[in-house]
Structure formats: structure tokens, C-alpha cells
Structure 1
Amino acid sequence: MYPLKFQPIYIKKVWGGRNLTSFKDNLPEGNIGESWEISYNGDLISKVANGSYKGMGLDELIMLLGKDLIGNKISQENFPLLIKFLDAQSKLSIQVHPDDEYAYKNGYDSGKTEIWVVLEAKENANMILGVSGNEPENFYNAIKNGNLEQYLKPIQVKKGDVYFIPSGLIHSMEGVLVAEIQQNSDTTYRVYDYNRGRELHIKNAIDVIDFSLSTKKVTGLCVNKEEYERIYYCYNQYFALEKYKIKESYTEISDTDRFYTYICIDGKGEILYRKGIEKINKGDTIFIPATLGEYTLQGPFELLKTYVPDIEKLEKEILSHVKC
């Protein structure tokens, strides 16, 4: 076992741009809106980019290595996470995602809850996170009449901001490059798309919008040590998100119940493990197999860490950092 890198899957979008060149050196031509970093979703399956498994698909790797790769508590049939970079240089559609129950009833494997970390932001960057008012009929009429803006809640955002996007929350963004961690689903219901000619899904959207939902910037719990800084941003049944700022080095042990992933968002460094060294550069996403064992993150760099948590275990860990 060794730390795995995967080939990014680039997707053109009408709202995309070229800002991913600050994270990727092999960006294809055109307006690239998404880079799928780790994916086992339909036909979009990541392929290993390094080491002895280079060229093998994530699906093949799971069949070959099973729980040694993904962990004892992770389903081999339903990979849980989808990790992306999004470059929304023009307006993302006004959209919403279903919860698990609605998704299952409509033939999908899961709903979609996600979290956004702003990596770059223009001066006028903004997000829409929720709606004003709680009357579905008024909202539906506003869609038909073309005056939806009065019901939307735009907020200004900047680099470093983190926002949790639960299923049922109307949302959009503009002028940002973000890291997105989410349930393994690409189910999106567009409410409005600025007359760009793409399909809308108004009935489905109205079905799943939770008009009571709103969200705010996630600040998290920060743990400062001499060699590193660690921020616990978010955890739920689907994923946990943390940020590491490695000043020198930090040693961890993999978890036989689950895999970890790290996204390098600034700087460069290395992962030192029993059988070797893997270099990490800004823009790399690293998959830590469940049975890797002890490894050391050697910076300086900043990493986002995400995984499917054991909530009880994680809460005990977080509480151990809280002093009365």
C-alpha cells in the first residue's frame, strides 16, 4: 500500500474559466468548470496516476484490494465521496440538491449534501445560500415571472471561507474557485440558469427545497501546536472536513475502518511512509489507504482532510482538545 494520486477528470461548463491553472499544470483548453479529483460516479471513474497501480481505475482497485484500501466500515458497492475543484467564474445556476429519501424514490443512489472551501475569490465574489420567505407558491410564481432575485440571499465571500450546503438549500456562486467535498452524487435540480438554454428541473426543485434552511460561514475549532495547526470544520454522517497547516511535520496512523483523503491547497511537501516518500504539490489530492499504517506529513503546506467519520470517536477526539 502507498498514498495514491488520481488523474483529474476535467469538465467544461458554461460558467467555468481558467483559474484552475493556479492548481493544475495540465488543464485542457476551454472554460473548465470542474476537476473531479476522486470519483467513482457512473462512467466518471478516477484512474491512479502514480506507483505500481498507475492506470488502474478506482473501481478495479476496490475489487482488487477491497477493505485493505477503503476500510472495514466503508461499502465496497457504494463509494461514499466525490471530491472536486469548481471554478465558477460566471454565475452557477440557481440550484438545489435532494436528500437521500427523495433521491432513492427517484432512482438515485443518494442525495447530495456538500461543503465548499473558497480557495480563490474575485473582489465581487458572492454566493447565494438560501431564500427569503417560506411560501413555495410565491417562489414558483417568481420563477415563472422572471423576478426570482427578490427571493434570493446573496452574500459576499472571500478566500478561506467555508460554507456547509445541506440538501434542500437553494444555492449558487460566482467569482470563486472552491474545493467541494460531497456525497457521491451529481444530482442537481436547476431552478434558474440565466437563459443559457440548459434544462431546468423546477418541479423537482420545488419538491425538495427546504424554505426554512439557511447557512453561515463555518469557523470550526482550531488546535494550535508548535509544528502544525488543525481546524475541525464540520462532521456529519456523510463526511468530516478538517484543515491542516503543517509548519514542519505531523505524524498520523491510518484507520483500518476508513480511508482518508488530503487536498493540498497551498505550498508543497511530502508524505513519508514505511515503504517510501510521495511528493505533494499544490493542487494534488492524495488517497490514504486504510491499511497504510503510520505516515508523516512534512511541509510546509496546507491540506484539507476529508473522510467518512466514526462520529462518536471523532467527538471524543474533539472534546479532548477543549479545556475547561
Structure 2
Amino acid sequence: MAEPLFLKSVMQEKIWGGNRLETEFGYDIPSQTTGEYWAISAHPNGVSLVANGRYEGTPLDTLYAEHRELFGNSESPVFPLLTKILDANDWLSVQVHPDDAYGLEHEGELGKTECWYIIAADEGAEIIYGHEAQSRTELAQMIEDKEWDRLLTRVPVKAGDFFFVPSGTMHAIGKGIMILETQQSSDTTYRVYDFERKDDKGNLRELHIQQSVDVMTIGEVANSHPDTIELADARLTTYVSNEFFTVYKWVIHGELAMNKQADYYLLSVLDGQGELEIDGQIYHLKKGVHFILTSDCQDWIFRGHLEMIVSHP
């Protein structure tokens, strides 16, 4: 019988983290500087466990390795996507991620193209999204001269905004922002600038200037344009669709029957509550729940009031 995979996942403490994963979502957090919840992850730095059904207790990486039929017999050697919720109680470092070719050659793992759905943002919150350098030479010089005000492109954000962040993009999430991030399953980050912050031992965090200059894209960042379908009981928005992932927002207010259009889906309930029916079985859904609809889930029904971010490779 087809069944969704609900997940129990790993919290990550960060120098810039806070407590909104607890106050907004009711998660148990390890400290008041909890920065990330790796909600759907098979990455070795934080593997989710299946929390229900016949695979209960199985790590997601093991399940992917041993039951590839649940994931459309995917040829990717690793589970390709990672879903996180981030609580930026302070600025994250200004950073960039490599593409697959550079990541595999230099770090032994995939590169990192990602995208952000802004769950919440304080008044006046900003991100860094791109830079103003016109050439790699100018980029290197501006970094060396610490001309951050001239170099970094700041963009104001509000709840409900979406940003596509391809590998090579200079970026940083600003203070007072909570996001859901869909990304390639990679943990390679090159820091360009960290606001001269020190860790709890009084040390500056490591920077990766040469790698950053090597992989940085020169030129304006092109964000994606959402495409929305309005139905009687739902609003279905496609934010981005590319070689790495397709990401949607599904808002249900009533009942919606759906059938499988992709090999499998990753789903995160950001607000509301309701239920999911598959093969006559009812599963209760509420804010903060994350699950996978595997390949054997052919069709399903959502009921209730639900706001979800959904993705697939």
C-alpha cells in the first residue's frame, strides 16, 4: 500500500541562529541559537529519519540507496534535494556556492543551486542578492579593499517573496528573516565576508576568498517569475523549474484531488491544518510537518486549510 514518508530531522546550531523554530513552529530546539532545521535531508551532515509506516526509523539516505523504486528509480547517486527552514536572528555570512563541476572537483560533492521562500521578515529586513562588480578582476579588488557598501547588492524582503539563487550567486540572508530553502543536497559554502564576527572562542570564522572569486557569477542575478493557477479550492503557484528542481506553493482551502506528475514530491506545511488521504488512509497535517510522497503514491486528496511549499527534482 502506498504511504507518505513523514520525517524526523536534525537541528543545526549557528552563530546567527535564534529561537523562532520553536516559537513559530513548535519544534524542540537545542539552544537559543538554533539556525537551521534540515527538514528533508539525506546529506551526511544531517540525515532525516522516517517517522511512520513500514520504513519507520530508517535513515533517508539508506532508504534512497536500498529502495530506489520509491524515488522513480532515480539515477542520481545521492538523494538530490535538501529542504531546510532557517531562522536568521542575525546576518548570515556573505557567501557563494560552487556549481557541480567545481564542487565535485574541489570538495567531492555536488554544487549548490538553491531558492528561498520568505516565511517571515521583520520590518526593514534585507538580503544580499548579487554584486556590483563588472569583472572578476574588479570583484577581487573590491573584496581585497573591503568595499562592501559599493560591492554588495541589498534587496528589501517581505513574507511571501521568493528568490532563485543559482550557484555562483553572491548572497546573504539578513537579520530577522525566516526562510524555507530548497537546495541541491550539498553543504559546500564559500564565505566572502562575515562582518568581522568572532566565534565563542574569540576567533574570526574562516573565509574562502580565492574559491569565492573562482566561482562567482559576474552580472545581474535573474530571479524567476511565478506562474499561478487559481482553482475553486486551491491556488497552485510554480516558482521555478530547472535542471535541479521544480518548486511550488500549494494553498488549499477546501478539498483538492491530485495525481502524480513527477517521480516523487517533498512537501512542507508552512501554515494551517488539514488531512491527506491516500488509498483510503487518512494522515493528519499541521504546520511544521514535512513529508515525501513517494513514487507509489499515484493519487491523493488534500482537505482543510493548508499552505505548503512543494518540490521535486
TM-score w.r.t. the length of structure 1 is 0.89
Aligned AA (2:300): Y
Which residue of structure 2 aligns with residue 313 of structure 1?
A: none
Q: 3-state DSSP class of the match of 2:124? A: strand
- Which of these residues, 228, 253, 266, is aligned with residue 222 of structure 1? 228
Matched, 1:205 2:207: no
For 1:281, the equivalent position in structure 2 comes to 286
Instruction: Please list, as runs of the form range in 1=range in 2, the aligned pairs for 1:84-99 lying within 5 A after superposition.
Output: 84-99=84-99
Q: Once superposed, what is the RMSD of the aligned Cα atoms? A: 1.6
Instruction: Name the counterpart of 1:104.
Output: 104
CA distance in 2, matches of 1:64, 1:153: 44
Q: Distance in 2 between matches of 1:114 and 1:59?
A: 20
Give CA deviations for 1:108-161 in whole Å, capped at 9, x if unaligned.
231111110000000021111111121333332332333322111101100000
Is contact 2:93–2:195 with CA below 8 Å preserved after alignment?
yes
Whichever residue aligns with residue 39 of structure 1, its letter is S
Q: Is the 8 A contact 2:130 2:171 kept in 1?
A: yes
SS in 2 for 1:231: strand
Unaligned runs of 5+ residues in structure 2 are 198-203
The residue number in structure 1 matching 2:194 is 193
Can you list the C-alpha shifts for 1:52-80, whole angstroms capped at 9, x where unaligned? 3221111222244321x1113x2362211
The DSSP-based 3-state class of the residue aligned with 1:41 is coil
For structure 1, list consecutive stretches of 5 or more residues without a partner in the other structure.
309-324
The more displaced of 147-156 and 103-112 is 103-112
Distance 1:59 1:214, change over 3 A: closer
**Equivalent runs, 1:70-219 vs 2, <5 Å:** 70-72=71-73, 74-75=74-75, 77-174=77-174, 175-196=176-197, 197-216=204-223, 218-219=224-225
Identical aligned residues as a percent: 33
Aligned pair count?
304
Q: Tell me the TM-score normalized by structure 2.
A: 0.92
Output one character per residue of 1:155-175: Cα deviation in whole Å (capped at 9) or x when no partner. 110000000001111000112
Classify 1:262/1:224 alpha carbon distance in 2 versus 1 (closer, same or farther; 3 Å): same
Does the 8 Å CA contact 2:129/2:170 hold for their aligned counterparts? yes
- Contact kept in structure 2, 1:168 and 1:213, CA below 8 Å: no
Paired position in structure 2 for 1:311 = none
Does structure 2 conserve the Cα–Cα contact (< 8 Å) formed by 1:62 and 1:76? no
Instruction: Kindly indicate whether the alpha-carbon contact (under 8 Å) linking 1:267 and 1:301 is maintained by their aligned counterparts in 2.
Output: yes
**Structure 2 contact 252–307 (Cα < 8 Å) conserved:** yes
Which runs of structure 1 show a deviation greater than 6 angstroms over 4 or more consecutive aligned residues? Answer: none
